[in-house]
Amino acid sequence: MNKLPRICVWHTQGDTYRDALRERLPDTPIEAINAATHETGEAVLGAPDSGPVASHGTSLIADAISSAEILLAWKVPPRTLTSMPALRWVQVTGAGVDHFLESTELSAAVTVTRSLGRFGIQISEYIIGYLLHHLIGIDTYREKQMSHEWARNNRPLLADRTVGIIGLGSLGLPTAKALTALGARVLGASHSGLAVPGIDNVFSASSWRNMLSECNALVIAAPKTVETVGMIDQSALDALPKGAIVINISRGELIDEDALLEALERGHLGAAVLDVFAAEPLPEDHPLWDQSRAWITPHIAAPSEIEVIADEFTKNYRRYVAGDSLLNEVDRRRGY
Binding site for ligand GLV (CB under 6 A): 94-96, 119, 302
The CA distance from 335 to 160, in Å, is 35
Residues 6+ apart with CB under 8 A from 331: none
191 included as an active-site residue: no
Instruction: Choose between 39 and 262: whose C-beta lies nearer to ligand GLV.
Output: 39
Out of 18, 56, 134, 299, the active site residue is 299
Q: Is 251 among the residues known to form the active site?
A: yes
Sign of the C-alpha dihedral computed for residues 32, 38, 40 and 45 taken in this order: negative
From the CB of 68, what's the least distance to ligand GLV, in Å? 22
Q: Which residue, 119 or 320, is less far from ligand GLV as judged by CB?
A: 119
Task: Check if the beta carbon of residue 240 is closer than 8 Å to that of residue 212.
Answer: yes
Strands (E), 49-167: 70-73, 89-92, 111-113, 162-166
Cis omega before residue 241 (within 30°)?
no
Quote the least distance from Cβ 41 to ligand GLV, whole Å. 13
CB of 196 to ligand GLV, least distance (A): 22
Quote the least distance from Cβ 28 to ligand GLV, whole Å: 24
Which residues, 6 or more positions from 2, have their beta carbon under 8 angstroms from its beta carbon?
27, 29
Find the catalytic residue in 251, 268, 286, 318. 251
Q: Which amino acid is at 259?
A: A
List active site positions. Answer: 251, 299
